[in-house]
Amino acid sequence: MNNPKKGALLYQGKAKSVYKTDDPDYLIMHFNDDATAFNGKKHEIVEGKGELNLRICKRIFEFLSDRIPMAYVETLNKKEMLQKNVEIIPLEVVVRNKIAGSLAKRFGKKAGSDLPFPVIEYFLKSDDLDDPQLTRSHIAAFNIANRTEMEIIEELALQINTILKHFFSVRGIVLVDFKVEFGRYYGDILLADEISPDSARLWEKQDESVLDKDRFRHNLGDLIEGYKIIAKRIGA
């Protein structure tokens, strides 16, 4: 397709910037070099992070594209991708395969333990409120998404998990958990935003060493080194 012309800044996130285009059906998502944690309380500029995240996200999206409906259209350059202009549903959908992060803390469970089946959690997408956790009842009561939409979202999230668990496993990486977002587009529900080491926990299968943003979050090693390992393994 002819690439739409980049327009005004629409949204400035913690690690990405979103721009309008001259075509109202499309947006440009720019991957920044910012590394953030704890809802922006920890913040650094890490040179090269944006480019690596885009490469990894592109590879994952292209792998998923024939099975998962998505907003992603194409990569424009080293830091920008074109996406359909979806109406983002303000939910962070987290799928967990192992106990880690806040799940271990909230329930007093040992980090690293396997879950008997994938666990889905929902959080309100709101920096001001520190992304509070939601139940399906909250989502319905606050009119965030209807029952049919939630059934589609849950089904897609579990499909993505099944596909990506195998995708990473055969490349020596454990998919511990990940966060995805979805949007409405002319009556359809599409996978939106990104899937990258910023939004997924990815561990070495051999020794469970951390390769993702937890390196930055908890000072566990060089962030770029971990992202480069992931990119190389998946052919990004």
Domain residue ranges of the chain, discontinuous segments joined by +: 6-84, 87-222
What's the CATH architecture for 87-222?
A: 2-Layer Sandwich (3.30)
State the residue for tokens 């739409």.
Answer: 4
Can you give the pTM of this predicted structure? 0.94
Q: In the block, which residue shows the tokens 């990004």?
A: 236
Tens digits of residue pLDDT in 59-116: 999 999 999 999 999 999 999 999 999 999 999 999 999 999 999 999 999 999 999 9
Instruction: Among 3.40.50.150, 3.40.190.10, 3.90.1150.50, 3.30.200.20, name the CATH number for the domain at 6-84.
Output: 3.30.200.20
HSE (side-chain half, CA atoms, 13 Å) at 145: 29
Torsion from C-alpha of 227, 230, 232, 236, nearest 10 degrees: -90
pLDDT of residue 1: 61
CA 99/CA 201 separation, integer angstroms: 11
What's the confidence (pLDDT) of residue 192? Answer: 97
Question: Hey, how many other C-beta atoms are within 10 angstroms of the C-beta on 25?
Answer: 12
Closest CA to 225 of 235, 215, 104: 215
